[in-house]
Amino acid sequence: MTYSIAQAAERSGLSIDTLRYYERIGLVDPPARDSGGRRLYSDNDLAWLGFLTKLRTTGMPIRLMREYAQLRHKGSATAGRRKQILFEHRADVRQRIAELHACLEVLDCKITNYAEIEAKMAGQQLIQEASA
């Protein structure tokens, strides 16, 4: 199964421009081409794009994704380094999740605060209306 760049964009959630950009900077291999010179993405290509978007979503910088992509080409001898990259990145992600949770608590606290203010104001309005 092959996909045009438009289909690949839709399935990967990336834009057409981004797909060409990723290719240009060496994040993805140049896909096959049809007789007219148009890109034909394979299921394999899409799987790799899917993995890349996971890395991006989790905030991995592109230069590191590129290092990973290049290691992939050098075969199994680089598996150690690739594993290390993912391992360290996972630790980063976990830490970021923890940070976000901490920030969530602050947000909860603030929101609760606003809700209390609202309740108080609503109460005062009731009192005003009753005494009017």
Partner DNA sequence: GTAGGAGCTGGAGTGCACTCCAGGTCAAGC
Partner DNA sequence: GCTTGACCTGGAGTGCACTCCAGCTCCTAC
Is residue 64 at the binding interface for its own copies, with CB under 8 A as the rule? no
Q: How many residues bind DNA (CB under 7 A)?
A: 20
Distance CA 59, CA 74 (A): 25
∠ CA 58-60-86 to the nearest 5 degrees? 90
Stretch (H or E) spanning 2: strand 2-3
Binding mask 19-58 for its own copies (x = CB under 8 A): --------------------------------x--xx-xx
CB of 33 vs DNA, minimal distance in Å: 7
DSSP β-bridge partners for residue 96? none
Residues 58, 94 contacting (CB under 8 angstroms)? no
| Residue 4: burial class (beta carbons within 10 Å; 0-12, 13-18, 19+) | middle
Which residue from 64, 74, 108, 125 is in contact with its own copies, where contact means CB under 8 A? Answer: 108
The interface partner of residue 5, options being its own copies, DNA, none and the CB cut-off 5 to 8 Å by kind, is DNA
Binding residues (CB under 8 A) for its own copies: these are: 51, 54-55, 57-58, 76, 79-80, 82-83, 86-87, 89-90, 93-94, 96-97, 99-101, 103-104, 106-108, 110-111, 114-115, 117-118, 121
